[in-house]
Amino acid sequence: MTVELNSLSGEGRPLSAFGTFPNEMGKGRTDAAVVGVAMSGGVDSSVAAALLKEQGYDVIGLTMHLWTDAKGEEMALNRASGCCSITMAQDAAAVAARMGFRHYVLDLSREFHGGVVQNFGEEYLAGRTPNPCVRCNTFVKWQTLLERAQKMGCDVLATGHYARLERYGERMRLKRALHAEKDQSYALWGLSQESLKRTVFPLGDLPKADVRRIAAELGLKTADKPESQDICFVPDDDYRRFLKDNFSEELKEVHRGEIVGPNGQVLGYHDGITNFTVGQRKGMGIAAERPLYVKRIDPVSNRIHVGYDESCFARSANVHNVNWVSIETPAAAVDCEVKVRYRDVPHKARVLSLDDHSARIEFPEPVRAVTPGQSAVFYDGDLVLGGGVISGFEGAEKL
């Protein structure tokens, strides 16, 4: 079977056209390049590894052990979905055995807890809604795992993400997947140029149906495995339960507070700001003639501000931890499109860089439920310009 992989050169050639990688990593090598593949135990990373093996590369499967939680582990085993479960590591090992390459499980639980789980709790305690997948990619997969892979002799790291890379001058440019319905570029905006130069996305040009077909034709155990839709360390999708189990001491500082309505009136009381996110409608325990939504969470006053749907739109937003992944930091404002959530549609916007790590986004048309803690990702067509974490917003109506 021959499947062309995304080009690393930007010249339209498949990865298989190169004896060694074109970005110095295989310099001086005459044998096949060594590719470490991050294997979650799902069908996507399984096929990514299998394609590379089929094309003659020396593949090493690397499964990250990220989280040990007896309750979460049990749920993941039952549902066969969480990428932190024992069964996922076993399935990755089965694929490696089937295709004939080495496979290792690496314990990155300390780095994952410090860089992802701790931030997850801190953000909710501060009234923000985090995106742990972005942080895992940025600080665990493309830092610690990539470093471990290099020490094991890997020239590059491959993953099963649906995204593409191309070389443009001295830079690598991150692009959407060819098939938009599976595009995962939103979660990759935090990657550095150094990391991108050591990365391969074998599935960037493939639709999901083809990936499952390839898995079935190769006899991979993961061919029919269901999609994982949850936060891997919260497999029951109950983040409130997770916070109680893992941040019980911190939650003692979370107190009852007011729920404030559209005209400043107190409509009711909440049991903690950690139970809410911007745009939320249900679970507030208040009655009104029209549906009310969370439009702002104020951790300083411990208030939840709610309003009608038309008051939940933003004209502008501020972002921090900005990374201009595919271009240099622009000196002037950039007209582009911005996604403010993973499943969001792109919105026309103007992004003004304030310094190397912060920016302001202005929307010509108001955007609903711009949520502090979530990522805002900037696009020019298929090109990912950069992204950052939303720190605040200005509503279409005065708060």
Q: What residues act catalytically?
A: 136, 232
Q: Which residue has the tokens 């360390």?
A: 233
Note every long-range contact of 341-345, with CB atoms under 8 Å and residues 24 or more positions apart, other chains counting.
341/369, 341/371, 341/374, 342/131, 342/133, 342/186, 342/187, 342/375
The residues, ordered by sequence, that sit 6+ positions from 167 with a Cβ below 8 Å of its Cβ are: 8, 9, 10, 22, 23, 173
Indicate the SS3 state at residue 257. Answer: strand
Token pair of 225 as six digits: 């495995």
Note every long-range contact of 51-54, with CB atoms under 8 Å and residues 24 or more positions apart, other chains counting.
51/3, 51/5, 51/202, 51/214, 52/5, 52/158, 52/200, 52/202, 53/99, 53/100, 53/101, 54/1, 54/2, 54/3, 54/99, 54/218
The residues, ordered by sequence, that sit 6+ positions from 342 with a Cβ below 8 Å of its Cβ are: 131, 133, 186, 187, 375
Q: Is 345 in contact with 181 (CB distance < 8 Å)?
A: no
Q: Measuring CA to CA, how many Å separate 56 from each of 48, 62, 74, 103, 170?
A: 13, 18, 38, 17, 27
**CA of residue 151 relative to chain centroid, distance:** 25
Q: Measuring CA to CA, how many Å separate 44 from each of 41, 51, 125, 147?
A: 8, 11, 34, 22
